[in-house]
């Protein structure tokens, strides 16, 4: 195993699409050096690298062989995450991976073990942890101000796949995979675990598919790229909507809704924590507010607290989604010196999400409650 | 059977508690004459009748024998609804009954048949139909502006039973009955049926009880009356919270949440209708607004339309819960001349609610999807 | 002077238009007996009285001569308020008058003196005091929780006179009168005085008239009645909009906006009280909420408190404009036994409003700050 | 005059405080090269430059002599803006200046003329133009959808100077200067001009000072830095609050409120445009929404349109204040190739703001309406 570098960390970014560019922008805001980028194809990589003023890597080997690179940002397609992340760990790099960590529980487990053995820092980009208010909500729950948690409510509703002419590579996922659950349900699931510290134990899922057949553009498809031109019929095997009933540690019930076909709901992620003394709700579309309700006839909105580590502008100066990504990456890099912390998601959290998604899929398929396996650490501790 | 009276309708009110007084207030606002009232006990009836300036009836027989009475308002305890309503129908009275119509499906079925045979007008007070915006929402769905309905979301959350020291006769319901589902779930269920015209076909219910033991005041208990004084332990068999997954006509999925222990949620009833072209949401706590979302980047709030039959003040002059009750009663009385309409709930709707509640209870008990029987009319038509 | 009656109070209502009917409805809700009604013309009075099941009075004399009448509700046209109220007082009746108390300061002063001399109860229907939250806001200010009041912000914006085809008798007010200021500005002014206990000392007004010429329907015009049919040009001398800067007792500055031509603003009355420790805002269109802001990063919404004297339904059951009117009338009648209180507006308050309106008119006309005369009681005390 | 450089633009940043760092972050996000920074003192400059990994300039001369520098970012104290900006223009640099452009109208006029003569690009950072919704609001007004503009309402309320122990260099402005008006009023004034295309012609201002004496920390004071340690009394000559009545081109009335002592109002900037057909309101604290009201009973919220040049993330992914700054800077740099446009503020706009501020000050001092001089271009065209 290669030794970590004493010099300041230097990033290389795999994948130069929408999310890869978001990582690059965040790294630059933070003044963190970027060694270079690797795209899916040499010509594309050279063009994008030139545009960005960065070094092109023409292969993963070339990237991993660069001793200047200390951190690999994984922003490539989902199905290469596992293999490339494992190679990066083997090469002694820290890995900051986009979600999902892998396309199966098994892929995720291997990466958790590999990261532990390599002793490298690792993270999965569950972006919503990057909002200051999400950190505050977690502290609020931990403080006991809400009493004991008794019930979780949440939804993640979107409308970008509303029409049968909407298409995206996510729609074309293989038959044994989920879509709404793995794409947006995993965010909600991670958020619930992070905020409450509770783990899901059982899940009952009900999926529905509004469009069993969609029009697929002939040619390649990108996230959020609008379709145009020629299309062909495509049989959809993944869900457009899902209801998830979950039982968390200690019998806490949860009811979650997911949809990618709910008109007017753009990126409507909401989590409500119901406790024995108070309720708290956070909505991604108004990210700086936490609404707290109590039995007394008051409702308090806790606004962005400008003194927090995730807040960089005074109260009333909205910080949004790009700032959340930047906060996650900032936290990862400040953790590289060992200070660390548990405020962003690690590979373990990526594995937990995969287990939840897999259990939900099985539940829907079999029409029954399915147990969500415990965390790897817990499992191994139990041996 | 007594013949209906040619003279203007005249009401008698059974039950002089919170809701009975609300009926009396609404009747008076409408300038509708009240013949008298019947309480649970003669002394109480006399005192309350004197306070109200109304004639006391000392027995149901006395009330039903009064030829001046054309409409009986049933505001008594749930377990007397069926017997008294049946007697009133037999005496040739029209019946405007509080919900639930009966404490079992069987009780409700008998009343539906009796009302049909008697040819009397009948209604169940599902108050929320009385909001102008609920009527507008129904028309909006029927107009096709939202496209086909694909998904229903809803919740009814309260906090008045949050603490184990909160008690109420509803908490003391017998073991085979539900509480949150029959009390507030039936409102949500009626609202969904009314607004969409869809019937529930299957339900999967999950109940939770936050307080399996509560403190019961020694002595009698009224709705919304604050407890005080001596208490004794009481074993609770009814649910504090419920998640309900429902399949409606045509495979439309619904996800409903109910709670009476959600701090800060006072009377938080919300219904969202998701369609193929638009979504619409109505919230009881802001009753004059319907929020409509579409794929275009706009969100429209349709405000109270002052020209409607359920609206009596200009835009911007909020009309609330007492006005909703009054609208329901006004609609009932204007229907007595035969004009009628389907804007308020009849005994058939009360029966539909009872069937939904019973199926939910069975589903929770057996941990499986349970079929909700079709409406009586449909059943009988199918014979 | 006639002696007051020992029997329960009995109302007579002058004016059977929109607001007269609202009074009748409120009286009926309260179970208060109504002796009869007086309209502007005998035929109309007979028809409306028959519809309402009430006795028609064919003249003011007949009404005042009826010994059963203890309270006169003044809901007639503005220009008869003074003369009729004075006659009613002289006849020994209590007077509950619609606003404005009179069309000039002088008319109001005479009524204040007459009521005092007659020893009769008197009120002006500043309806917005009837909201429970307005009462709570006043208590909040008085409690000192907001610190010292330093600044008042407010607006009352409507859109019912937006188009030049919108017409109403208010538009046709004589040249020396105001419209927006006297109609809606007087509500805002009363609200500010009531909530803070501060009196306006100086005002600087700026009026604008969007439509110097409107289309006037040929024939009679009612409030909120939609125009139709033939019209004729009408030269408007009253303001559509106004900005009012005010200096209150102790140098507290206020900035108020009024408009009857602001599209989308239906009945948008809002008052914000800024104090040295906290701010509080109340909005008529969400009448059950008070929003409280402090320097700490929280914002608290105080909801309807169901325990108050102005609240009659549990939290989450919205009470609106009709309930506010009812609360004002209820408070007046419960004060007739002498218990009284200062929660609704008296003739003194009606006079204070008139003085404010007159000073605003003078300020606009002369383009300078104008002193608002002190209350009559204060003036007389100073002699 | 030095010729512009053919090579890509390269920035130098004067001032390394809060706002200087915000510029550096934005430049880095955009991948724009930064030549170096200049602080107020050599030691500080060296330390900060090292932290940022940038070249320290130890004097303005050194900075201006660097041929690599094509754009000077002026983020220094207000009283050096004019002299340094003029020197930069003389050295052939483009200038992107923080607001205010100068501390007097005369300083601003000189810079406008100098920039014109030098033929250099120039901008003043009125950040709020950088929100996508502000651009959309301007287009909405220009489209005529709201009809003719008849009235403007706005406020900018903060609470960071609420207590007399709050201090800041802005509080210590000289006696002939304003504070709330120049600091936040200039933003509101620029926003109103930008959105409507109307110019202010007359202003009537009323200032109030809550704390005529504050506690000033002994030693230096930074924006938003919390006070601590020893303090001394300081006599405040600038206003804490202001009401501004304004008459715009064509007799359009405006009513603006400013406060830096309004508890709970953090950065509460709001502009409402009232037109003959519709009203539109934008609030900085919910920056992605425009609320549009019409006489019909609907209210439409136009959400962030992800297709605009000022929008970089899909709908529902909030972009905030840091994104607005970045948009302004991006627009400036993309204009350097001559394409330009009028979407961000130039020195002319900075001058317009200065004239408005000066007229407001004069109006308050003299207690009368004061004319706001026309734009320089208009004045000169009129000669």
Residue of D nearest to B298 (CA): D302
Do B222 and B354 fall into the same domain? yes
Signed CA dihedral, A247, A288, A158, A281: sign only = positive
> What contacts D364, CB < 8 A, 6 or more positions away?
D205, D206, D207, D239, D242
User: What is d(CA D188, CA D177) in angstroms, rounded to the nearest whole number?
Assistant: 18
Provide, as residue numbers in chain B, all residues whose Cβ is less than 8 Å from the Cβ of A265: 279, 293
* Mean pLDDT for the stretch of residues B132-149: 97
Residues from chain B that touch A146, judged by Cβ atoms under 8 A, are: 263
The answer, yes or no, to whether residue D298 has pLDDT greater than 90, is no
Give the C-alpha separation, D196 to A300, whole Å. 36
- pLDDT reading at C281 higher than 60: yes
* Partner residue opposite D298 with nearest CB, options B297, B300, B306: B300
Q: Indicate yes or no: CB of A298 within 8 angstroms of CB of C297.
A: no
CB contact under 8 A, B303 and D298: yes
- With cut-offs at 50, 70 and 90, classify the pLDDT of residue C307: confident
Does residue D281 sit within a domain?
no
B229 and B88 inside one domain: no
Chain D residues lying within 8 Å of C285, measured CB to CB: none
Which residues of D make CB contacts under 8 Å with C? 146, 150-151, 153, 155, 159, 162-163, 204, 206, 208, 210, 241, 243, 245, 251, 253, 255, 257, 259, 261-266, 274-279, 291-295, 297, 299, 367, 369
| Neighboring chain C residues of B316 at a CB cutoff of 8 Å | 158, 265-268, 284-285
| pLDDT tier at D378, thresholds 50, 70, 90 | low
- For residue C306, what pLDDT is reported? 81
Chain C residues with CB under 8 Å of A315 CB are 297
Q: Average model confidence (pLDDT) for chain C?
A: 92
B270 and B171 in a single domain? The answer is: yes
CA angle, residues B227, B231, B234, in degrees to nearest 5: 105
Q: Which of D320, D325, D326, D329 to mutate to test binding with chain A, by most A CBs within 10 Å of its CB?
A: D320
Is residue D322 domain-resident?
no
**pLDDT confidence tier of residue C42, bands split at 50, 70 and 90:** very high
pLDDT of D297 strictly over 90: no
Residue A69 falls within a domain, yes or no? yes
User: Do A64 and A159 belong together in one domain?
Assistant: no
Average pLDDT, chain D: 92
Give the D-side interface with B, CB within 8 Å.
297-306, 315
pLDDT at res. B4: 43
Rounded CA gap, A60 and A80, in Å?
11
Residue C320: inside a domain, yes or no?
Answer: no
Q: Which of D297, D298, D303 sits opposite B297 (nearest CB)?
A: D303
Interval B243-270: pLDDT, tens = 999 999 999 999 999 999 999 999 999 9
**Does D248 have pLDDT greater than 80?**
yes
Q: Could C25 and B29 be called an inter-chain contact, meaning their C-beta atoms sit closer than 8 Å?
A: yes
pLDDT at C299 over 70: yes
A205: in domain: yes
Whether D155 sits inside 8 A of C153 (CB atoms) is yes
The CA distance from D55 to the nearest CA of chain C, in Å, is 38
**Do B27 and B158 belong together in one domain?**
no
Kindly state whether residue C323 falls inside one of the protein's structural domains.
no
Whole-angstrom distance between the N-terminal and C-terminal Cα of chain C? 28
Selection from C171, C170, C81 nearest residue C123 by Cα: C81
Which of B95, C48, A243, D293 lies closest to C14 in space, CA to CA?
Answer: C48
- For residues B103 and B167, membership in a common domain is answered with no
Phi and psi torsions of D32, nearest 5°: -90, 135
Chain centroid to Cα A318, Å, comes to 22
The shortest C-alpha distance from B278 to chain A (Å) reads 5
In this complex, the residue of A297, A301, A303 whose CB is nearest that of residue C305 is A297
Domain boundary among C120, C137, C170: C120
Nearest to C299 among D264, D276, D295 (CB): D264
Q: Which helix or strand (DSSP H or E) is residue C185 part of? A: none
Specify the pLDDT at position B266: 95
Q: Which of C11, C21, C115 lies closest to C75 in space, CA to CA? A: C21
Chain D's closest residue to B289, CA to CA, is: D298
Q: Which helix (H) or strand (E) holds A100?
A: none
Closest Cβ opposite residue C297 in set A297, A299, A315: A315
Position C1 scores a pLDDT of 33
Question: Is the confidence at residue D136, as pLDDT, over 60?
Answer: yes
| Ranges A149-158, C59-68, C169-178, D362-371: which has the least confidence | C169-178
Mean pLDDT for the stretch of residues C178-207: 97
| CA atoms of D309 and D356, how far apart (whole Å) | 30
Of B251, B261, B274, Cβ closest to residue A262: B274
Cα D149 to Cα A371, B122, D137, D233, D284, distances in angstroms: 62, 54, 13, 47, 21
Tell whether C171 and C248 lie within a shared domain.
yes
Percent of residues, chain D, with pLDDT higher than 70: 92
Question: Is position A251 within any domain?
Answer: yes
Supply the pLDDT for residue C170: 85
Distance from CA of C253 to the nearest CA of A (A): 25
Whether B92 and B214 map to the same domain: the answer is: no
Other Cβ atoms less than 10 A from the Cβ of D367: the count is 12
What's the mean pLDDT in C286-303?
Answer: 91
pLDDT digits (tens, 9 = 90+) for B181-220: 999 999 999 999 999 999 999 999 999 999 999 999 886 6
Looking at B132-286, which runs of residues are DSSP E strands? 149-157, 200-208, 213-217, 231-235, 241-248, 252-259, 268-275, 278-283
Domain that holds residue A87: 11-120
Provide DSSP, B126-170. Answer: -GGGGSHHHHHHHHHHHHTTT-SEEEEEEEEE--TT-STT---TT
The yes-or-no verdict on residue B380 having pLDDT over 80 is: no
Q: Do A303 and C301 touch (CB under 8 A)?
A: no
β-pairing, D252-259 with D268-275? Answer: unpaired
**A225 pLDDT tier (thresholds 50, 70, 90):** very low
DSSP for D214-236 reads EEEESS---TTPPP-S-EEEEE-
Instruction: Place B304 in a pLDDT band, splitting at 50, 70 and 90.
Output: confident
Which has the minimum average pLDDT: A152-166, A334-348, C282-296, D118-132?
A334-348
Q: What are phi and psi of D298, to 5 degrees?
A: -135, 160
pLDDT-derived band of residue D305, with 50, 70 and 90 as boundaries? confident
Residue D141 near residue D196 (C-beta atoms within 8 A)? yes
Q: Do A150 and B263 touch (CB under 8 A)?
A: no
Mutation choice for C interface testing from D204, D243, D297 by most C CBs within 10 A:
D243
Contacts of C287 in chain B (CB under 8 A): 318
Query: Higher confidence at residue C56 or residue D224?
Result: C56
Q: Give the chains touching A; criterion: ≥3 Cβ pairs < 8 Å.
A: B, C, D
Residues D245 and D357 in one domain: yes
Q: pLDDT band for C218, please (50, 70, 90 cuts).
A: confident
Q: What is the pLDDT of residue B37?
A: 98
Q: At what angle do helices B186-196 and B347-366 cross, to 10 degrees?
A: 120
pLDDT at C259: 98
Query: How confident is the model over A259-273, as pLDDT tens digits?
Result: 999 999 999 999 999
Average pLDDT, chain B: 92
CATH code of the domain containing D268: 3.30.360.10
Regarding whether A271 and A156 lie in a shared domain, the answer is yes
Of A25, A316, A321, Cβ closest to residue D317: A321
Contact at CB, D29 and A25, closer than 8 angstroms: yes
A321: in domain: no
> Are residues D355 and D230 part of one domain?
yes
Measured between beta carbons, the chain C residues lying within 8 angstroms of A313 are none
Per-residue pLDDT, A229: 78
CA nearest to B312 within chain C = C322
For the CA atoms of D190, D192, D195, D200, what is the dihedral angle to 10 degrees?
-90
Q: Does A298 contact C299 at a Cβ distance shorter than 8 Å?
A: no
**What is the arithmetic mean of pLDDT over C32-44?**
96
Residues of chain A above pLDDT 70, percent: 92
Domain count within chain A: 2
Find the residue in D nearest to B305 (Cα): D297
Q: Provide the 3-class DSSP secondary structure of residue A316.
A: coil
Task: Kindly identify which residue of chain B lies nearest to residue A155, measuring between CA atoms.
Answer: B153
Chain D touching partners, 3 or more CB pairs below 8 A: A, B, C
How crowded is residue A165: how many other Cβ atoms within 10 Å of its Cβ? 15
pLDDT at residue B28 above 90? yes
Same domain, B39 and B163: no
Model confidence band, residue D376 (pLDDT cutoffs 50, 70, 90): low
Among chain C residues, the shortest Cα distance to D254 is held by C243
Kindly state the average pLDDT of the residues D334-358: 88
Length of chain A, please?
Answer: 383
| Residue A68 burial class via C-beta count within 10 angstroms: exposed 0-12, middle 13-18, buried 19 and up | middle
Contact between D316 and A286 using a beta-carbon 8 Å cutoff: no
**The total number of residues written for chain D in this structure:** 383
Q: What is the mean pLDDT of the segment spanning C34-47? A: 96
Predicted TM-score (pTM) of the model is 0.94
Q: What is the mean pLDDT of residues D149-155?
A: 98
- pLDDT band for B7, please (50, 70, 90 cuts): low
For residue A274, list chain B residues with Cβ-Cβ distance below 8 A.
Answer: 259, 261-263
The alpha carbon of residue B31 is apart from the nearest alpha carbon of chain C, in Å, by 7
| CATH number, residue D64 | 3.40.50.720
Q: Is the pLDDT of residue B2 over 60?
A: no
pLDDT of B339 above 90: no
Q: What is the pLDDT of residue C242?
A: 98
Count of CB contacts below 8 A, A vs B? 108
- CA–CA distance from D222 to each of C339, D77, D170, D172, D307 (Å)? 58, 11, 9, 12, 39
C-alpha span between B27 and B34 (Å, rounded): 7
């Amino acid at each position: 195993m290669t030794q970590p570098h004493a010099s300041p960390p230097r990033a290389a970014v795999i994948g130069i699409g929408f999310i890869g560019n978001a990582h690059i922008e965040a790294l630059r805001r933070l003044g963190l050096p970027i060694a270079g980028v690797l795209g899916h194809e040499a010509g594309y990589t050279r063009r994008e690298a030139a545009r960005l003023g960065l070094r092109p890597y023409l292969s993963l080997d070339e990237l991993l062989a660069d001793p200047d690179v200390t951190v690999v940002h994984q922003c490539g397609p989902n199905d290469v995450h596992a293999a490339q992340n494992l190679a990066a760990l083997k090469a002694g790099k820290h890995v900051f991976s986009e979600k999902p960590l892998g396309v199966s529980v098994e892929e995720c487990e291997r990466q958790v073990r590999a990261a532990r053995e390599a002793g490298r820092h690792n993270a999965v980009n569950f972006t919503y942890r990057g909002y200051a208010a999400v950190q505050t909500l977690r502290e609020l729950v931990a403080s006991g101000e809400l009493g004991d948690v008794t019930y979780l409510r949440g939804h993640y509703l979107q409308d970008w796949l509303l029409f049968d002419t909407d298409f995206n590579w996510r729609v074309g996922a293989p038959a044994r995979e989920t879509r709404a659950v793995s794409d947006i349900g995993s965010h909600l699931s991670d958020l619930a675990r992070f905020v409450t510290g509770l783990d899901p134990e059982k899940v009952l899922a009900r999926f529905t598919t509004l469009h069993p057949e969609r029009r697929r553009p002939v040619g390649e498809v990108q996230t959020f790229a609008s379709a145009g031109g020629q299309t062909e019929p495509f049989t959809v095997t993944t869900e457009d909507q899902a209801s998830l009933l979950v039982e968390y540690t200690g019998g806490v019930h949860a009811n979650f809704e997911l949809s990618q076909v709910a008109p007017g709901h753009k990126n409507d992620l909401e989590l409500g924590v119901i406790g024995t003394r108070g309720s708290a709700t956070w909505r991604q579309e108004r990210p700086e507010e936490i609404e707290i309700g109590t039995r007394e006839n008051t409702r308090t909105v806790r606004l962005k607290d400008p003194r927090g580590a995730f807040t960089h502008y005074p109260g009333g100066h909205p910080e949004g989604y790009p700032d959340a990504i930047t906060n996650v990456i900032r936290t990862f890099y400040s953790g590289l010196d060992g200070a660390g912390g548990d405020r962003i998601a690690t590979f373990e959290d990526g594995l937990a999400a995969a287990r939840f998604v897999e259990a939900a899929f099985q539940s829907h398929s079999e029409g029954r409650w399915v147990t969500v396996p415990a965390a790897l650490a817990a499992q191994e501790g139990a041996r």
